[in-house]
Chains A and B, each alone.
Chain A
Amino acid sequence: MIEKSAPRTQEKTHKIRGKVRLREHLMGWLFVGPFGIVFLALLIAPLAYALYLSLFQKKLIGGTSFVFLDNYVKAFTDPSFLSGSWFVIRFSLVSIPLQIIVALALALILDAVTSMFTRFSRLMIFLPYAIPTVIGAVMWGFLYSKSFGPLSDIFGLLGTAPPDFLGSNLIFYGLVNVVTWQWAGYYMIILYAALQGIDPALYEAARMDGAGKWQVALRIKIPLIAPALLLILVFSLIGTLQFFNEPQILRSLAAGTIGPDFTPNMYAYQQAFALANFNYGSAISFALGGIVFVGVYAFLFFTRKRRSFL
């Protein structure tokens, strides 16, 4: 009896399971649906359209023609695109380590020190991130002013002319400063949250073994928040390679220093919206996307052992 019925029950459960699975599948798609539609309509479709546009060339005289990859060949031999790309790469190499060191130092201090000012300091350090990029850039534009900013007052006391952070010599550092000011606080919060997640028992154990505060920070805390560090590294790498807002805003104060091809994103914007060359603008965007992809992929590849967040 039992032996006989066993295959039947199995068959039955199989059937039921199949039905359940189908229903689960349907439910799954239903839940993913709203996101999927938005994802397709607002991300994949525009990307595909831009890719399609980038394969054509539109001339003022002669109209539009299919040129396949010519726009990409042009982009990678275009001094404007290349110098813009080189600028953002150099910018990444300087500004990203700086931001991360500042954020890490602040996070470690706030984690180690507990006083009534910790909370206040945390908020204050985070505050720049809450200020819209555009307003932050305008504000720094004023602070950098040679004639009415605080710089002129400070250097006036010393009897020298203030440095011109909007001039072509110092604009690099002027922008590094703006970006660090804006983002270090945000990264600090991410690292701080990661630090809070560490089991305090580990510190106790380390102390029992004779580790000082420095050693706890260097050998326990930093290795344990390495995944968070990696995460903010990738964030900042992508963000910096797509540099746009700050230079675009400061351009209205220093058009001579910051050309329309200052960064690849600005160049794409100029081509598409000022020169009506959507095709080449799309090609530049995709070429930049390629650079970002290669950069991030290479980075993840070299750090793959510690990669636990992806």
Chain B
Amino acid sequence: MNKKWLSAAAKLAAATVLASVLAACSAGGGGGTNTASGSGASNCTNTIPKKNLPVVTMWGWYPNMQLVVDNFNKQNGEVQVCWTNVGQGSDEYDKFQTAISAGTGAPDVIMIEMDRIPTFQIQNALVDIKKYGFDAVKADYSEGAWKDVSVGDAVYGVPVDGGPMAMIYRKDIFEKYDITPPKTWAEYEQAAQKIKDAGGPAFGDFAANVSALTMALQIQKGAAPFTYDPAQQSSVGVKLNDQGSKDVLDYWGRLAKNGLVGTQDQFTPEYISGVINGKYATYISAAWAPGYLTGAGVGKGEDTGKFAVAPLPQWDADHPVQVNWGGSAFSVTSQAKNPELAAKVAYGLYADKESLTDGWTNQIIFPLNLKALNDPEFVNLKVAFFDGQQANKEVYVPAANAYKGVTYSPFGQYYFDAMTKQVSALIEGSVTGAQAADRLQEDVAKYAKEQGFTVQ
């Protein structure tokens, strides 16, 4: 008992390091946090092999970044990359944001999650890289992937990894309670009720701190939260209380109220321990989840080989809609000394076969580069985490191919924080889903107006 407690604690201690900084980002992994400013080329984490070439600085947090940068530097005869890891997700954004406000201190190239691109673009912090060799690589990515890194016609990033969504589930729990993977959300609720009636664990988790996930689930029901045209930068469409958005919040609010799903914050040791101990029958998540979970210690002990994956449940099984959660891109910042050279790095980094293969075999990324996405080896991969299931072929690749892209908001941070507040109130039971959506609309529209936008 005691020993078990200790080993769990050790696992979870490792998990915290990852979890505390990971919020809906692409992949798990430790890595040292270097707080040094990346603007100078003198303090790179990597060693630059060709010292006579011009250097482009970059920030990024993929766990295999060192290898990716080394591959690029080895293969490139024109430019060298000086890379630092200044933290994952919010940690990096806060530093970037400070550098933008200060007007100095940002790197030339930066890794950011795609849903953050408009937030930085509107502050003129990113460079449109369409004129720097876009046509040469256009065919390497799907249209949906390009849409996620674009604002209007301008391209503000090169897609690297994506998060096509699916339902990860525990085979042992499904077998024990005689359940087949639900195809629709109605079936999902029925299955949850069935397990609860039989005294089983929670069927899933509805958390306040994963706004990007909640947004994706709303988009699946037809929500289009933001419309935003950079040609008319001062006007933004905010529609957070349409019927689809309300329905999704009502649905999960009901499941939480009836005790069918847990309400634990995700990316926390508490949640991971729940996943390991079989407290949740399903985990609605994206293609980076197996890598993240493995890194957090899931699927290594008694729970080895107990996980499987099925397509995301649908509202209308005849008209399936695929959505995305997370995924990152490389963008060129407007503080880049030589944007053309920086764009070459953004286009070329993590686009060579060696790096991509390392990324997907180690489950660090779900690649968006079609060279990898169409690679039979990738498609047919028997994923160890899913006990040899061909997860890419059966679930993730079709989901990625059907993904249409989304318009993200130019004030993503505020929107996500406001959503957390409302979902938290919904979980507590002080508002209904529909009310939460209305309040969110009011809150975000007010903020947009304060920031000088005309809200439609």
Listed in ascending order, the chain A residues whose CB lies under 8 Å from chain B are 59-62, 138, 142, 145-148, 153, 168, 252-257, 259-260, 270, 273-276, 278
Chain B residues with CB under 8 Å of A148's CB are 5, 8-9, 12, 269-270, 273
B454 CB, nearest partner CB in chain A, Å: 9
> B274 touching A270 by the CB < 8 A rule?
no
> B452 touching A142 by the CB < 8 A rule?
no
How far is it, in angstroms, between the C-alpha of A146 and the C-alpha of B202 when the chains are bound? 15
> A259 touching B420 by the CB < 8 A rule?
yes
B86 CB, nearest partner CB in chain A, Å: 14
Contact with A along B276-288 (1 / 0, CB 8 A): 0101000000000
A271 CB, nearest partner CB in chain B, Å: 10
Given contacts A255-B420, A273-B94, contact A147 B234 (CB under 8 A): no
- B residues 393-436 with Cβ under 8 Å of A? 410-411, 413-414, 417, 420-421, 423-424, 427-428
> B427 touching A275 by the CB < 8 A rule?
no
B51 CB, nearest partner CB in chain A, Å: 36
Chain A residue with Cβ nearest B236: A61
Of B9, B19, B424, chain A has the most CB atoms within 10 Å of the CB of B424
How far is it, in angstroms, between the C-alpha of A259 and the C-alpha of B443 when the chains are bound? 15
Main secondary structure of the interface of A (DSSP, over half): loop
8 contacts across the A-B interface (CB closer than 8 A)? A59-B451, A148-B270, A168-B424, A256-B208, A256-B209, A259-B421, A274-B90, A274-B417
A96 CB, nearest partner CB in chain B, Å: 28
Contact with A along B311-337 (1 / 0, CB 8 A): 000000000000000000000000000
> B414 touching A275 by the CB < 8 A rule?
yes
Listed in ascending order, the chain B residues whose CB lies under 8 Å from chain A are 5, 8-9, 12, 16, 19-21, 90, 93-94, 97-98, 100-101, 122-123, 207-209, 233-234, 263, 265, 268-270, 273-274, 277, 279, 410-411, 413-414, 417, 420-421, 423-424, 427-428, 450-453
Chain B residues with CB under 8 Å of A255's CB are 208-209, 265, 420
Chain B residue with Cβ nearest A74: B450
> A253 touching B265 by the CB < 8 A rule?
yes
Contact among B97, B207, B428 with A276 in the assembled complex (CB-CB below 8 Å): B97
Given contacts A60-B122, A61-B453, A138-B16, contact A259 B417 (CB under 8 A): yes
Chain B residues with CB under 8 Å of A254's CB are 265, 268
A261 CB, nearest partner CB in chain B, Å: 8
> B452 touching A147 by the CB < 8 A rule?
no
How far is it, in angstroms, between the C-alpha of A232 and the C-alpha of B166 when the chains are bound? 55
Chain B residues with CB under 8 Å of A253's CB are 20, 265, 268-270
How far is it, in angstroms, between the C-alpha of A162 and the C-alpha of B268 when the chains are bound? 18
Chain A residue with Cβ nearest B207: A256
Given contacts A256-B209, A259-B417, A270-B417, contact A278 B16 (CB under 8 A): no
Chain A residues with CB under 8 Å of B277's CB are 147
How far is it, in angstroms, between the C-alpha of A252 and the C-alpha of B17 when the chains are bound? 11
B119 CB, nearest partner CB in chain A, Å: 9
> A168 touching B209 by the CB < 8 A rule?
no
Contact among B209, B234, B268 with A61 in the assembled complex (CB-CB below 8 Å): B234
How far is it, in angstroms, between the C-alpha of A259 and the C-alpha of B424 when the chains are bound? 9
Chain A residues with CB under 8 Å of B428's CB are 168
B4 CB, nearest partner CB in chain A, Å: 10
A102 CB, nearest partner CB in chain B, Å: 29
> A256 touching B424 by the CB < 8 A rule?
yes
How far is it, in angstroms, between the C-alpha of A252 and the C-alpha of B97 when the chains are bound? 20
Given contacts A147-B274, A276-B100, A276-B123, contact A61 B269 (CB under 8 A): no
How far is it, in angstroms, between the C-alpha of A254 and the C-alpha of B266 when the chains are bound? 9
A3 CB, nearest partner CB in chain B, Å: 74
B13 CB, nearest partner CB in chain A, Å: 8
How far is it, in angstroms, between the C-alpha of A109 and the C-alpha of B427 when the chains are bound? 46
How far is it, in angstroms, between the C-alpha of A272 and the C-alpha of B211 when the chains are bound? 21
Chain A residues with CB under 8 Å of B410's CB are 60
B251 CB, nearest partner CB in chain A, Å: 18
Chain A residues with CB under 8 Å of B122's CB are 60-61
Chain B residues with CB under 8 Å of A274's CB are 90, 93-94, 97, 413, 417
Of A148, A168, A260, chain B has the most CB atoms within 10 Å of the CB of A148
> B274 touching A257 by the CB < 8 A rule?
no
How far is it, in angstroms, between the C-alpha of A275 and the C-alpha of B416 when the chains are bound? 12
Chain A residues with CB under 8 Å of B98's CB are 273
How far is it, in angstroms, between the C-alpha of A21 and the C-alpha of B452 when the chains are bound? 60
Chain A residue with Cβ nearest B122: A60
> B452 touching A62 by the CB < 8 A rule?
yes
Given contacts A254-B268, A255-B265, A276-B97, 14 further A-B contacts (CB under 8 A): A59-B450, A60-B122, A60-B453, A142-B269, A145-B270, A147-B270, A148-B269, A252-B19, A255-B208, A255-B420, A273-B94, A273-B97, A274-B90, A274-B97
> B93 touching A146 by the CB < 8 A rule?
no
How far is it, in angstroms, between the C-alpha of A99 and the C-alpha of B353 when the chains are bound? 61
Chain A residues with CB under 8 Å of B90's CB are 274
